[in-house]
Copies of this chain bind each other. A is one copy, B any other.
Amino acid sequence: MRVAILGVGTVGTEVANVLIKNSDLIVSRAGVSITPVVGVVRNLSKHKDSIIPLTDDIDSVINRDDIDVFIELMGGIDKPYEIISKILERKKAVVTANKALLAYYRNELEALAGDTAFGYEASVAGGIPIIKALREGLSANHIQKIMGIMNGTSNYILTNMMNSGVQFDEALKKAQELGYAEADPTFDIGGFDTAHKLLILASIAYCVHAKPEDILIEGISQISSEDIYFANEFEYAIKLLAIAKRGEGTLELRVHPAFISKDKMLANVNGVMNAVSVVGDAVGESLFYGAGAGGSATASAVISDLIDIAREIRNPMLGYKAPLESAPLKLLKPNQIRTKYYLRLKVADEVGVLAKITNLMSQNNLSIDSFLQKAKSKDEGCATLFFTTHTCLEADMLRVINSLENENFIKAKPFMIRIES
């Protein structure tokens, strides 16, 4: 099997390396040898010591008849969409790791692929075979819930904040120094990368075709060391979670930081590692843990797609339709979510403040589960109050926060984190 690597950067280089280094193993597992015959880059002069032949002429490569599978590892959205469309129109197999592309165009591409193999195991959670698990390993199950930690940068920062008590800015700087965060980290810490991956998993599990703009996406930059203090006090970890949750004919999709009880497996996923928990109606909870990024781990997933194609696992990526729903699932609006909440308030240290707050809460159907007042506050005359609620409607919580913002006794913007279990 002859393959072309379109984009020979971090991942593409490792795909070539592993294909060559593990070639004996791969031929015995695939039944045929898998040979990277050409790679495409923009700037040839950067790649003098490449171990595969390179070109900067992508059009000539995608029209070659002697290539069986094209591996897209360039990144971007519109350019790879155009390239992959051309290849699939020629009925040639494609493998990609491009989650941004798939978050927007997976349906168009799957439709175009038809019977042609189109693999994207590497696009979600790097080396973890979560797409295969959803499509095949758990195929007997209605998927009731997916909950994942799928961004190594954010998880590294949050782990560091929890373990060393550093503030967000310092943890981010450390991550940047270690190469775990980009110079512009917005895509990772803002939750957008996680959202792309969630949309891919949700389309497999639920056949929903939402785009990033349709769902709740919140990042981690507002987490303070006071939230960390509370988390440690109440045996929680704080994680940036991707959540898909199925109700009666409804579906919630959301990305946000969340408290999660320390006795849960997900709470113990630390540093740059990723994990995805899946609840199925027959199997109960399963969890899949591993390296979410990095050239070599991502290459492992890319090559598993190649081996599946070589073994004529006939189009593992298609021929798989989502469950026939009696009616299509309705995507819930963000304010229709029901969950538990953590609320941090900085208030004037005056008589009657607590009564006003608890009144407002109960008028809006919020029932308090736990309450903590921090012993000392740095700012004189102020106290920090922490609340957790029982399960309630997001719309009610937002109304409470809105009302509080107009009160004089509130001394900083109220801050809320959802609590998941």
Chain A residues with CB under 8 Å of chain B are 14, 18, 22, 24-31, 121, 127-129, 132-133, 136-142, 263, 265, 268-270, 275, 280-291, 294, 296-297, 299-301, 303-304, 307-308, 311-314, 316, 319-324
Q: Considering the complex, give the chain B residue whose CB is closest to the CB of A19.
A: B140
Partner pick for A284 among B127, B284, B308, B319, CB 8 A cutoff: B127
Residues of B within 8 A of A311 (CB): 314, 319-320
Copies in the complex: 2
Say whether, besides A265-B269, A290-B283, A25 and B300 are in contact (CB < 8 Å).
Answer: no
Interchain CA distance A281-B280 in the complex, whole Å: 31
The contact sample of 14 A-B pairs, CB cut-off 8 A, is A29-B323, A127-B284, A129-B132, A129-B138, A136-B308, A139-B307, A140-B300, A265-B269, A283-B296, A283-B301, A289-B289, A312-B314, A313-B314, A314-B314
Residues of B within 8 A of A308 (CB): 136, 139
Smallest CB separation, A156 vs chain B (Å): 15
Q: Which of A137, A138, A281: most chain B Cβ within 10 A?
A: A137
Q: Considering the complex, give the chain B residue whose CB is closest to the CB of A25.
A: B323
Say whether, besides A133-B133, A319-B311, A127 and B283 are in contact (CB < 8 Å).
Answer: yes
Smallest CB separation, A108 vs chain B (Å): 21
Interchain CA distance A29-B319 in the complex, whole Å: 8
Residues of B within 8 A of A285 (CB): 290-291
Smallest CB separation, A36 vs chain B (Å): 13
Q: Which of A142, A287, A324: most chain B Cβ within 10 A?
A: A287
Interchain CA distance A142-B24 in the complex, whole Å: 10
Question: In the complex, are the beta carbons of A324 and B24 less than 8 A apart?
Answer: yes
Say whether, besides A265-B289, A314-B314, A319-B31, A25 and B142 are in contact (CB < 8 Å).
Answer: yes
Say whether, besides A133-B129, A265-B269, A288-B288, A300 and B22 are in contact (CB < 8 Å).
Answer: no
Question: In the complex, are the beta carbons of A286 and B289 less than 8 A apart?
Answer: yes
Smallest CB separation, A300 vs chain B (Å): 4
Interchain CA distance A133-B129 in the complex, whole Å: 7
Smallest CB separation, A363 vs chain B (Å): 41
Question: In the complex, are the beta carbons of B323 and A300 less than 8 A apart?
Answer: no
Residues of B within 8 A of A128 (CB): 286
Q: Which of A138, A263, A283, A301: most chain B Cβ within 10 A?
A: A283
